[in-house]
Amino acid sequence: MKSVITGSGIGIPKNVVRNDMLTKLMDTSDEWIQQRSGVQERHYAEAGQSSADLGMLAAQDALTAANKTTADIDAVIFATMTPAYYFPGNGPIVQAKMGFPEIPTFDIRQQCSGFLYGLDLADSLLKSGKFNRILLIGADSHTPLMPWHRGWEITFGHDREITPEEYEFNTRFRHLTVLFGDGAGAMVIERSENGERGFLHSRLFTNGSNIEALYMKGGSRTRPWIEPEQLVNGDLIPIMEGRGVFKEAVSRMPGAVRTVCSEAGVQLEEVDLVLSHQANLRIVEAVQKQLGLPPEKVPHNIERYGNTTSGTLPILFHECLTDGRIQPGMLICFTALGSGLHWGAALYRT
């Protein structure tokens, strides 16, 4: 028995924010952003459009592609680090709004590795025999984490002068905020007794010895968990030590790809595509070079979406499938690394 992806879909908000729009908000430039990260534009969700809403767009798309309805799904897994509410997670929202029967929903939050962890969990649950068909969603809406009260409405075309204080405040977080965009992807994954297709092997890793490399305050460690001053001081904006995370990403992801290949008895050269988390074009290129693969085998779309966290892998998969870069019989390796640190890789035969 193998777990097979039978449909995929994406949910991308309409509003496109180009780098030059961000230069009105803070001391940055299109040149810096493109050179250091490869991002040219990203999409921002509308006010009130949560990760659950984006996830549902992708989920509907994936159900349609799989020729299935909500009645055919046995469980939903939702990966996000930006749920619509502190609790409950997005699973119950999706269950009710999309009209699923009272099936179990799992909410997981492994940040940029969320979708990869979801793939492994879906595969394991299907292999356990408990479920026949799972809907896996990865979605993040980062815009509420940005200092929205500092004039960010101009990214939606509301022209106004940014005060020097707002400009300075926004500039404090420029190494982080320019990288992210909002978006979602989803897959229908099901049990199949049909030959070679499906997930072959995966490995997940966690090392929590330095969570401060990439984390966000505001939680049960502080009482109360949110104070008005935290918002004013920018204490509820993620904290990232970019260079440290960069170094981890360019060694851990290729390492995980090599591990799954070797454990599955597959030569690296047999892999047709490595679908890597899209955090930075330079990271994607470093992964490709570390693995000694040609550029076309390690595709990227960060130019158009930025880092969508749980959305990157399914959006990239869906685009490659739609434009024909993914063909039947190919060997694909998914890999990701993110806050935690969590990372890993999964091998899949289309």
How far, in Å, are 75, 121, 190, 194 from residue 130 at the CA level?
10, 12, 12, 19
Asked if 14 and 43 touch (Cβ cutoff 8 Å), the reply is yes
Amino acid making up residue 59: A
Query: Over the range 170-196, which residues count as b (16 or more CB within 10 Å of their CB) and which as e?
Result: beebbbbbbbbbbbbbbbbbbbbeeee
* Position among 84, 112, 287, 316 found at the interface with ligand UT7 (CB under 6 A): 112
Q: How far is the CB of 310 from ligand UT7 (least distance, A)?
A: 10
Q: How far is the CB of 113 from ligand UT7 (least distance, A)?
A: 9
Write each residue from 302 to 321 as x if it is in contact with ligand UT7 (CB under 6 A), else as -, in one continuous string: -----x--------------
* Position among 188, 249, 302, 313 found at the interface with ligand UT7 (CB under 6 A): 249
Catalogue the active-site residues: 112, 277, 307
Give the residue with the Cβ less far from ligand UT7, 30 or 227. 30
The total number of residues written for the chain in this structure? 350
- Give the dihedral of Cα atoms 267, 4, 313, 205; nearest 10 deg: -60
* Position among 18, 127, 175, 297 found at the interface with ligand UT7 (CB under 6 A): 175
Residue 162: beta bridge partners? none
Q: Does 205 bind ligand UT7 (CB under 6 A)?
A: no
Site size toward ligand UT7, by CB under 6 A = 20
* Position among 279, 320, 345, 346 found at the interface with ligand UT7 (CB under 6 A): 279
* Position among 36, 68, 109, 197 found at the interface with ligand UT7 (CB under 6 A): 36
Sites of contact with ligand UT7 (CB under 6 A): 28, 32-33, 36-37, 112, 174-175, 178, 214, 242-243, 245-246, 249, 279-280, 283, 307, 338
